[in-house]
Structure 1
Amino acid sequence: MTEDRPESLLGGNSNAPVRIGDHVHRVGGPWTPTVHAYLRHLRSRGVDLVPEPFGFDDEGREVLAFLPGSVPAYPLPEAVWTDAFLVRAAAVLRRLHDASADFDTAGAVWQQPTREPAQVISVNDFAPYNLVVDGDRIIGVIDLDQASPGPRVRDLAHLAYRLVPLTAPENVDGRSTPPEERGRRLRLLADAYGDVAPAAILVAVGPLLDDVAEHADRAGRPDHGALYRRDAEALPTVSAAILWAAG
C-alpha cells in the first residue's frame, strides 16, 4: 500500500489546509478544541453536513474529515445564483442555528467575540465559498473556525450580502440586479429561514460589513477591507432602493 501524499487545498486563508487521504490537516489555534466540540455537537444533532473532527496530528495541526465535492469560487457559478440554492442555503443555516442553540459554552474559547444577543452559535462566515456543493445542492459546510455565540440575524446578513446580493454596483463579486429583484430574493431568503423580517436582515448588514472590514485589516488583507468598506458606504443607497421598490 502506498502512502497518501499531502495535497494542498485552495482557500483556508492562513490555515494552510492540506488533504492527506480522507482527512484535511490545517493550522489551528486556541479556539480549535471548542470548534471541534461544536462540530461534534452539530453532528450529534443530525447535522452531518459539517466535517467530523479527529483532534490533532503529530505536527499540532487539526484534523478533519475531507468532504468531497466542489467549493464555489468567484465569479460564482450560475447554479449558486438560483432561487433553489438561496432557499437551500437559508434552510441549512437554520439547521445549524437550531442544532447549536443548546451547545454548552462553559469554558469555551472562540476566535471571534461573543455578540449579543447570543441566541445561537453564529458561523460568522456563512458564504458560498465555505459551502461544498453539487450543482445547486449543498452537501457540506466547511471552515467553521470563525464561529462564536451571537444573534441569528448576523449570519443571515452575511448570506444576504453575498447572495441577494447587497454589494455595491461596482463589486464584481455581486450582481447588478434591479432593486425589485434584490427585494424579492431578500424576502425569499427570510421566508426560507423563517421567523425573521427582511428589514431586520438589512439593518444587520452594515455592522457586519464594519466587522469583516476590520477583521480583514487585522488579517493583513487591506484590499478586502477596502472592498467591504465600499460596500458599506453604498449600503444605504442599495437598501433604500430595495425598500422603495417593495413599496
Structure 2
Amino acid sequence: MPTDGTPAPAATYDEPAGPQPEIPLIGGDVTEGVVRVGDTVRRPTGAHTPLVHALLRHLEDTGFAGAPRLLGIDAAGREVLTYVTGEVAARPRPAWIADEDRLASVGRLVRAYDDAAAGFTPPDGVRAPSGPTPPAEMPPAPPYPAELIGHMDLTPDNIVFRDGEAAVLIDFDLARPVSRVDEIHNAMLYWAPLGDPADADPPLRDVDVPRRCRVLADAYGLSGTDRGRLLEVAVLRARRAWFSMKRMAETEGGGWARMWHEGVGDRIKRREAWLERHGPSVEAALTAP
C-alpha cells in the first residue's frame, strides 16, 4: 500500500500463453463491454473501481466464497475477475425464479455477504462515487445510518445459483454504504418483487408478494426493528428513484438513458402507487409472529 494510505492498484494480470476468444456476457442493464476470456471475466474500470477492488480483496481475505476473485488488470486496462460457473435467472426469466426455496437461499446469501462486508473499512481516500448532484426537489433518503458497504444491485442477473441454491454475487459496481434494511429492501425489490404486478416478469406476476418478503426477511434473519422500517424505506426509495434515474439518464447516458426511454420512470411511479395500496399487507406479513 502506498505511504499516503491509498490502496495499491490491482496488479497487472499475467495472461496465459496462446490466444483466447472474447465472449460477450449480456444480462445487466448498464455495464457494457463485459466479456469472458477463458476462465476469467473482463470488465471496464471506472470511478467505482477502487472501492470495489478493496472490497473484493477484503471478501477474499475473510474467506467469503460468494464473490468472484480479483485477479488484476489486463493490458487493455480492464479488471480481471474469476469466471463464476452456475446459472442466473437471465431474461426471459425462468420459471424457477418463483421457487420459494431458491428465494430463501437468496436471503441467506445476502446475509452472509453483509456479515462479511460489515468488517470492511474502505481505505483512506476510497469511497463510493457520489454520482450527479441530486435535484433540490428530490425527496429525503431514509434516515438510518450506514452499517456496511452493501451490494445494492441484487437483480436476478447478479446472483449465480448452483444446485438450486444462491451461491455467488457478481457485479459490485453499485456497492456503497447502506443500512441492512436498505440492502434487504433491494433484494425484495427484484425477488418479491415489490411493485405493480403488471411490471413483474411473467413467472412473478401472480405470486404472493407479502409472503415472499417474509421468506426473504426470515432467511436473512432481519431484525424486528428493521422489519418495522422496511415499508418506510421502500416508499422513500421509490420516491427518490424517479429523480435519481432521470438524472442518471441525463448525465450518464448509455444504459441509464435506454432504461429511462423504455419507461423505467413510469414503472417507478406505479411501484410507489402499489406500495401505497399494498404496503400495509407487506408490513403485516413481515411483522406477524
* TM-score grouping bracket, smaller chain normalisation: 0.7 to 0.9
Tell me, what secondary structure is at the counterpart of 1:15?
Answer: coil
Query: In the alignment, what sits opposite 2:87?
Result: 70
Greater length-normalized contact order (CA 8 Å, ≥ 6 residues apart): 2
Q: CA deviation at 1:160?
A: 1.3
Give CA deviations for 1:37-64 in whole Å, capped at 9, x if unaligned.
1011112222112111122212211111
Give CA deviations for 1:200-222 in whole Å, capped at 9, x if unaligned.
22222123334444443312121
8 Å contact kept, 1:123–1:144: yes
Q: What TM-score do the two structures reach when normalised by structure 1? A: 0.88
Change (3 A) 1:207 1:28: farther
Change (3 A) 1:161 1:9: same
For the aligned residue pairs, the C-alpha RMSD in angstroms reads 2.5
Mapped pair 1:186 → 2:201:
no
Change (3 A) 1:112 1:53: farther
Mapped pair 1:80 → 2:120:
no
In the alignment, structure 1 segments of 5+ residues that lack a partner are: none
Q: CA deviation at 1:20?
A: 1.0
Q: Distance in 1 between matches of 2:197 and 2:273?
A: 11
Query: In the alignment, what sits opposite 1:226?
Result: 266
8 Å contact kept, 1:18–1:26: yes
Q: What residue identity is the alignment partner of 1:51? A: P
Q: Distance in 2 between matches of 1:6 and 1:59?
A: 13
Aligned-residue sequence identity (percent) comes to 29
Q: What residue identity is the alignment partner of 2:270? A: R
Mapped pair 1:91 → 2:111:
no
Q: What residue identity is the alignment partner of 2:157? A: Y
8 Å contact kept, 1:209–1:228: yes
- Give the stretch that moved more between structures: 151-160 or 163-172: 163-172
8 Å contact kept, 2:27–2:91: no
Q: Distance in 1 between matches of 2:18 and 2:267?
A: 46
Q: CA deviation at 1:185?
A: 2.1
Q: Distance in 1 between matches of 2:273 and 2:164?
A: 31
Query: In the alignment, what sits opposite 1:119?
Result: 147
Q: How many residues align?
A: 245
Q: What TM-score do the two structures reach when normalised by structure 2? A: 0.76
Query: In the alignment, what sits opposite 1:165?
Result: 193
Tell me, what secondary structure is at the counterpart of 2:160?
Answer: strand
Q: CA deviation at 1:139?
A: 2.5
Change (3 A) 1:213 1:63: farther
Change (3 A) 1:210 1:186: same
8 Å contact kept, 1:166–1:238: no
Mapped pair 1:33 → 2:79:
no
8 Å contact kept, 2:154–2:190: no
Query: In the alignment, what sits opposite 1:205?
Result: 234
Query: In the alignment, what sits opposite 2:128?
Result: 110
Q: Which has the larger radius of gyration?
A: 2
Q: Distance in 1 between matches of 2:35 and 2:232?
A: 38
